[in-house]
């Protein structure tokens, strides 16, 4: 089995390209497992700043299966996102073997995020595995990989200051908004969406003293979310949203509804307009202006769009009195991180990677150890037989007792096993090295396979 990952993130692509590439990401994992025989499992991570696909490939000692899987994935991503196969191929960074685990552990620890050290990605990695389980596309190796990633993230959070810094996209957005808003205890906020980011936004707003929080969801889930989080709910119709915006100082939009696929037919694209368009915001601002009466103008409305697929129409930024902060804005304002904390976190990741790879490739090493133990037992049996025969000859006409047999066996086993530990350590090291070399031979050239099949003009 060979691990492969195809990753695209804010580090390699601009957010517009990443948005196009990840359209339809929900169905890619299911499709690749059902249509590509060598792929035994797939897990997809699709967040506001990355799209990654992890594959467990049953590959023989030639790399054709690996190459076929990577080519097939590029074609599927192209078909689901509407980009060309060449563009899809060029967008991905392909990793194999130990690079896969090292990258995922780095991602789960928040070291590859826009805001280095942010903790939300750990939950997203965990949910990606849960979604793969629900779809029936995971595998034993991918289960071990992702569970180890979650444990590694917890270690980084526990052993470095990154875990206690409150670093996240939501926190960064609220910090930027707070520079122009009235003080948070007096601010009125509307959250669009009911997912993980919405929950994080409620918690972050409360931490800043904001108690006037309402939630809107076009899908009708706002009431349940509001009840479970102790906030207010906005009606599901567009007019109710406009009315809420007219009274708001801050909007945090994180529904990700735009660009979703229909549940009934994963292959059919549902045409969904912006969750928040410029016309709705303009009407809300007109109502806000009418309500201030003698005051020169209402306070500014700050809108944070945290959705990769843009909940908010970019033209909203042209509406008078509105400040729109999207992911590009947040990326440009991401804070620096203390190098000592990052270095410590990367050490934790490196150690976890080494342990995981030894476990993953340990089957070959275990077989070598078992072979040594079997050889030792055969040697013990042979030497015990010779010693018993010698004692029988010496005691004739009497015969050795059972205690004599046990004493001889203990003495021989102790002597044979005395030098076995060093041999086991050496054999395991050799077997691991051979397993790594064999895997390297399988995946040799896989990094170039996508571009080789779909050359970029």
Catalytic residues, by residue number, are 48
End-to-end CA distance of the chain: 33
Which distant-in-sequence residues (6+ apart) come within 8 Å of 249 by Cβ? 181, 182, 187, 188, 189, 299, 300, 301, 302
Rounded Cα–Cα distance for residues 362 and 266 (Å): 38
For residue 138, report the phi and psi dihedrals to the nearest 5 degrees: -85, 180
Name the burial class of residue 324, with classes exposed (0-12), middle (13-18) and buried (19+) by CB atoms within 10 angstroms of its CB: buried
At a CB cut-off of 8 Å and minimum separation 6, what does 390 contact? Answer: none
State how far Cα 28 lies from the chain centre.
Answer: 15
How many of the other CB atoms lie within 10 Å of CB of 379? 16
Can you spell out the DSSP letters for 312-331? Answer: B-GGGGGSTTEEEE-HHHHH
- Single out the residue of 230, 227, 228, 226 nearest to residue 192, CA to CA: 226
9 in Cβ contact with 30 (< 8 Å): no
Question: What tokens appear for 11 in the block?
Answer: 């580090």
Q: How many CA atoms lie within 13 A of 346 on its CB side?
A: 9
Q: How far apart are CA 277 and CA 283, in angstroms?
A: 10
Residue 272 tokens read as: 């969904």
Please state, in angstroms and rounded to a whole number, the distance separating the CA atoms of residues 312 and 345. Answer: 35
The values of phi and psi at residue 399, to 5°, are -125, 150
DSSP state letter for 214: E
Starting at the earlier edge strand, list the strands of the sheet with 322-325.
Answer: 232-233, 212-216, 188-192, 250-253, 301-305, 322-325
Q: Using the structure block, give the residue that is written with the tokens 């779909």.
A: 454
Q: What is the dihedral of CA 269, 311, 196, 216, to 10 degrees?
A: -110
């Amino acid at each position: 089995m060979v691990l492969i990952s195809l990753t695209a993130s804010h580090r390699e692509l601009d957010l517009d390209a990443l948005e196009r590439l990840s359209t339809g990401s929900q169905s890619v994992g299911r499709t690749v497992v059902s249509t590509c025989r060598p792929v035994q499992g797939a897990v997809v991570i699709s967040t506001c700043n990355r799209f990654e696909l992890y594959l467990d490939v049953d590959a023989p000692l030639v790399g054709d299966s690996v190459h076929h899987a990577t080519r097939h994935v590029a074609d599927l991503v192209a078909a689901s996102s509407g980009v060309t196969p060449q563009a899809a191929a060029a967008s991905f960074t392909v990793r194999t073997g130990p690079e896969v685990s090292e990258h995922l552990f780095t991602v789960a620890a928040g070291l590859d995020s826009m805001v280095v050290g942010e903790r939300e990605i750990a939950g997203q990695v965990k949910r990606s595995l849960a979604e793969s389980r629900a779809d029936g596309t995971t595998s034993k190796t991918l289960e071990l990989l992702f569970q180890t990633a979650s444990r590694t993230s917890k270690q980084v959070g526990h052993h470095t200051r990154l875990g206690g810094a409150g670093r996240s996209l939501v926190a960064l957005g609220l910090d930027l908004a707070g520079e122009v808003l009235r003080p948070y205890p007096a601010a009125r906020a509307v959250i669009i969406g009911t997912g993980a980011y919405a929950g994080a936004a409620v918690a972050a707003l409360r931490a800043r003293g904001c108690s006037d929080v309402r939630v809107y969801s076009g899908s009708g889930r706002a009431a349940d979310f509001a009840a479970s989080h102790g906030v207010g709910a906005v009606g599901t119709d567009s007019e109710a949203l406009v009315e809420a915006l007219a009274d708001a100082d801050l909007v945090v939009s994180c529904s990700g509804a735009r660009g979703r696929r229909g549940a009934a037919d994963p292959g059919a694209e549902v045409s969904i307009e912006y969750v928040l368009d410029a016309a709705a915001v303009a009407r809300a601002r007109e109502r806000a202006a009418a309500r201030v009466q003698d005051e020169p103008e209402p306070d500014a409305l700050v809108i944070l769009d945290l959705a990769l697929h843009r909940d908010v129409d970019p033209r909203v930024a042209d509406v008078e009195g509105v400040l729109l902060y999207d992911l590009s804005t947040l990326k440009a304002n991401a804070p620096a991180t203390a190098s000592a904390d990052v270095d410590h976190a990367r050490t934790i990741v490196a150690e976890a990677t080494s342990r995981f790879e030894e476990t993953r490739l340990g089957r070959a090493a275990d077989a070598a150890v078992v072979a040594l133990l079997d050889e030792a037992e055969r040697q013990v049996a042979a030497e015990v037989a010779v010693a018993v025969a010698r004692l029988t000859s010496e005691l004739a006409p009497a015969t050795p007792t059972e205690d004599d047999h046990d004493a001889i066996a203990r003495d021989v086993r102790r002597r044979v096993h005395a030098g076995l530990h060093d041999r086991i350590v050496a054999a395991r090291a050799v077997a691991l090295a051979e397993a790594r070399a064999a895997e390297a031979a399988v995946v040799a050239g896989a990094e170039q396979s996508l571009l080789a099949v779909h050359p970029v003009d």
